[in-house]
Chains A and B, each alone.
Chain A
Amino acid sequence: MPVLLALAAVALIAADTVIPLDPLRAFGSAVYGGLEDAASSSVRWASGAGRLEDLERENTRLRAELLAARRATPPPAEGNGYQVVSAHAVGFGRDGTVTIDAGADAGVTPDMTVFDADGLVGRVLRTGPGTATVQLATASGASVGARLEGSREVGLVTGVPEHGLLRLGLLNPSADVKPGDRVVTLGSRDLRPFVPDVPIGTVVTVEPAADALTRTALVRPFARFTALENVTVVLGPLPDAPAVTDTSTKEPEKKSEKTNKSKKLKKKKKAKKKDTSRHAEGAR
């Protein structure tokens, strides 16, 4: 019997190496995702955080607008805001992954950007019905297109999991980089897996150029990956968002629009999407 079971386990490993056993993972997500969600939300409820849900949702929306507003590059043609969903980190894995409590039911699909109040968290790896697995930027297999915020030099950020740091490899070997420089995401086509200009971290040390092909530096991430709580998933651009208008002239209108909006949010959750797009108009 022990021999048979050990052989079964080896067979599973072999099978998963050749053809990924995704149905089994989906089953795990469905069963254990629900359990983790329940366990985590009962802990949060016990600590009295349940009534903060409304504020968290509001906060998420504002954060997405802030992110859209600080973009230096022109937004994609289809819109200028992001459609987002807020989630909690409910489970922490040891493979550089976390579980969040928003899944396919909330519209989350693989390769979506996840960030929190501090900066980039990672991207969605796979989804279950009510939960999703997020690969952190510090995971050993993760890589994120990045650029220096000041000089706009382009590079690639990869995980250095043992120290909680990231390694930035700049494509330009003679790029000027110094400790304290801020690193942001480069952004990908169709906003997947990464939307542009999400803050990643600051350069802490510049490594001496060994091969003169790339310039590498160690980056301390803004997000605290071991203490993640409320995170935001970017679902995509806002549908039917109006064209860009000048921000400065619309400032007072924005304020009134916002208070108006938060009142409505309490009454009608359904109207949220439409409302948000209207607010996005005010923000521009």
Chain B
Amino acid sequence: MRAVILSVLLVLAAPVLQVTVVNGWALPGGVPDLVLICVIALVPLLRTRAVAGAGPGTGAGALLGFAAGLAADVAPPADHTIGRLALVLCLAGWAAMRIPADDGAARRVAGAALVALGASLAEGVLAALLDGTPWASALAPGAIAWTTGGAALVTAGLALLPRRRSFGRVPASRPLYPRGGRRA
């Protein structure tokens, strides 16, 4: 449960960090989309609570993405069609949830990078179609590269982290592998 609360708080705080800090960076080519990176990186944390086949399932990822996207849509300097980011991030959260948990860390990182790339492209296309953003700035390769790289990096970090510290879940008193299903 702690992971869920933490994830929701983080994705709701991400728009603030994006507009106050990240967008001020002078990176070559553009800046990463922090909200998208957060959603893709945090969705796997939600899955750890889900019992296979039941529970939140893929819906939790989509819900987290939708909430984050809507927050980013209405956070002040934004001046685009409301729902644009909600749609893209909802699909990104759903897709990130579909990455099998029992894949190797390398495959999960690759999957996260692929979702980030696809979501960035979809966002750019929607921006150009719905809000008349010029194609060159809607699909800036630099920004997409930063976002994809950032998502891969954060996913890799989180994939390695919980092995050593129990990241808000599985208290030590509980048997570590209840049904033998969890991979070490």
Report the minimal beta-carbon distance from A31 to chain B, rounded to whole angstroms. 8
Q: Which of A35-43, A165-173, A272-280 contacts B (4 or more CB under 8 A)?
A: A35-43
B2 CB-CB contact with A under 8 Å: no
Residue from A43, A125, A140 with most neighbouring chain B CB atoms (10 Å): A140
Binary contact track B73-103/A, C-beta < 8 Å → 1, others 0: 1111111111110110011001000000000
Q: Which of A4-12, A196-204, A251-259 contacts B (4 or more CB under 8 A)?
A: A4-12
**Chain B at the A interface: mostly helix, strand, loop or mixed?**
helix
Binary contact track B19-40/A, C-beta < 8 Å → 1, others 0: 1110110100001000000000
- Is A140 within 8 A of B76, CB to CB? no
- Is A36 within 8 A of B20, CB to CB? yes
Residues of A within 8 A of B15 (CB): 32
A232 CB-CB contact with B under 8 Å: no
Residue from A93, A141, A161 with most neighbouring chain B CB atoms (10 Å): A93
- Is A95 within 8 A of B80, CB to CB? yes
Residues of A within 8 A of B157 (CB): none
Given A162-B137, A226-B26, the answer on whether A133 and B77 have CB atoms closer than 8 Å is yes
Residues of A within 8 A of B26 (CB): 226-227
Q: Which of A20-28, A113-121, A180-188 contacts B (4 or more CB under 8 A)?
A: A20-28
B46 CB-CB contact with A under 8 Å: no
Contact of B76 among A1, A11, A36 (CB under 8 A): A36
Residues of B within 8 A of A98 (CB): 77
Report the minimal beta-carbon distance from A9 to chain B, rounded to whole angstroms. 4
- Is A93 within 8 A of B63, CB to CB? no
Q: Which of B111-119, B125-133, B160-168 contacts A (4 or more CB under 8 A)?
A: B125-133
Report the minimal beta-carbon distance from A47 to chain B, rounded to whole angstroms. 13
- Is A11 within 8 A of B77, CB to CB? no
- Is A97 within 8 A of B77, CB to CB? yes
B59 CB-CB contact with A under 8 Å: yes
Report the minimal beta-carbon distance from A237 to chain B, rounded to whole angstroms. 28
Report the minimal beta-carbon distance from B79 to chain A, rounded to whole angstroms. 4
B7 CB-CB contact with A under 8 Å: no
B150 CB-CB contact with A under 8 Å: no
Binary contact track A131-148/B, C-beta < 8 Å → 1, others 0: 101010001110000000
> Chain B interface residue count: which class?
35 or more
Residues of B within 8 A of A249 (CB): none
A27 to B131, CA, bound (A): 21
- Is B82 within 8 A of A13, CB to CB? yes
Given A5-B90, A32-B76, the answer on whether A17 and B58 have CB atoms closer than 8 Å is no
Name the residue on A nearest B86 (C-beta).
A9
Report the minimal beta-carbon distance from A141 to chain B, rounded to whole angstroms. 7
A16 CB-CB contact with B under 8 Å: yes
B42 CB-CB contact with A under 8 Å: no
Report the minimal beta-carbon distance from B133 to chain A, rounded to whole angstroms. 6
B71 CB-CB contact with A under 8 Å: yes
Residues of A within 8 A of B61 (CB): 2
Contact of B23 among A17, A29, A91 (CB under 8 A): A91
- Is A36 within 8 A of B16, CB to CB? yes
A93 to B16, CA, bound (A): 11
- Is A92 within 8 A of B83, CB to CB? no
Could you list 13 examples of A-B contacts with CB < 8 Å? A1-B59, A2-B62, A5-B65, A6-B94, A12-B70, A15-B82, A17-B130, A27-B74, A33-B76, A35-B16, A39-B21, A92-B77, A95-B77
New A-B pairs, 19, CB < 8 Å, besides A2-B61, A13-B82, A32-B75: A2-B62, A9-B86, A12-B87, A13-B81, A27-B74, A28-B74, A39-B17, A91-B76, A92-B77, A95-B78, A95-B79, A95-B133, A96-B79, A133-B76, A135-B79, A139-B79, A140-B132, A140-B137, A162-B134
- Closest 10 CB pairs between A and B? A28-B74, A12-B83, A93-B77, A1-B59, A91-B19, A9-B87, A2-B62, A92-B23, A13-B83, A32-B75
